[in-house]
Amino acid sequence: MALEAGALGGKLLGAGGAGFLLFYATKDSKEKIRKALKLPEIKFSYDTEGTKVIYEEK
């Protein structure tokens, strides 16, 4: 359905009942894909700092 709505590709991420569908698409196709799948958009950004410790139990 996503490909028919304009997605150029996609990837299933995660496991179990809490995964994500990630699609590669043009900005013009984004809304059409979301409406075709009836799924919410979850915005994200990339982190260029790499892995870091955010909690350390002492």
Q: Tens of pLDDT along 15-46?
A: 777 788 889 999 999 999 999 999 888 888 88
Look at residue 26 in the predicted model and tell me its pLDDT: 94
Residues linked to residue 22 through DSSP beta bridges, in sequence order? 11
pTM equals: 0.64
Question: Which CA distances in Å does 52 have to 22, 33, 55, 56?
Answer: 24, 34, 9, 11
Q: How many CB atoms lie within 10 A of CB 8?
A: 11
